[in-house]
Amino acid sequence: MDPRTCAPPQTRVEATHMVLPGHTNNHGTVFGGQVAAWIDICAAVSAQRFARKPVVTASIDELHFLLPVRRGMTVVLQSMVNQAWRTSMEVGVRVEAEDPRSGERIHCCSAYLTFVALDASGRPSPLPTLVVDGDPDCARRAAEAQRRRDHRLAMREERRRQQ
């Protein structure tokens, strides 16, 4: 397989959504599940751009909402593949809320998602190598993704031992 780079034009995605009344709860703030769905879709596009084959979400790391997003605001999501392994990859997503009147943006949450590439039979499929040489930001993201993966695998093993 040919290597892919971490360059934004290849895996970076930016998605924009208006927060409409149907996206909000009785407090006038967006449902957390709606934000999670937007995150999943944005990340899936990045993952599929990298894999060039179908992908499925395997996990979403902790999702903490830092600030509420109110009806009428604009939500801007940015995603990029951080690291790839044999059949899985991590995609990072940053979510900002934008006030449409002032243009001011605030960081409201971030998430890391793991995707698995699939073959024509729906089984895990090998991924190309993610090349981060020469880009310090991509190298940092890849190293941090590896630490998070090591932690996820350790937690999975701990859950298996407890069963």
Selected residue with higher pLDDT from 27 and 132: 27
Instruction: List the structure tokens of 162.
Output: 């407890």
**Residue 42 Cα distances to 65, 73, 127, 143, angstroms:** 17, 18, 19, 22
Cα three-residue angle 36-111-108, rounded to 5 degrees: 75
Interval 54-80 mean pLDDT: 96
In terms of residue numbers, what domain contains 44? 4-162
Instruction: Let me know: does 42 contact 77? Beta carbons within 8 Å.
Output: yes
The number of distinct structural domains making up the chain is: 1
Q: Which CATH number covers residue 106?
A: 3.10.129.10
Beta bridge partners of 114: 59, 90
Tens digit of each residue's pLDDT (9 = 90 or more) over 1-57: 556 665 556 899 999 999 999 999 999 999 999 999 999 999 999 999 999 999 999
What integer is the mean pLDDT of 56-77?
96
pLDDT of the residue at 98: 98
User: Residue 133: its pLDDT value, please?
Assistant: 78
Average pLDDT of every residue of the chain: 93
DSSP code of 133? T
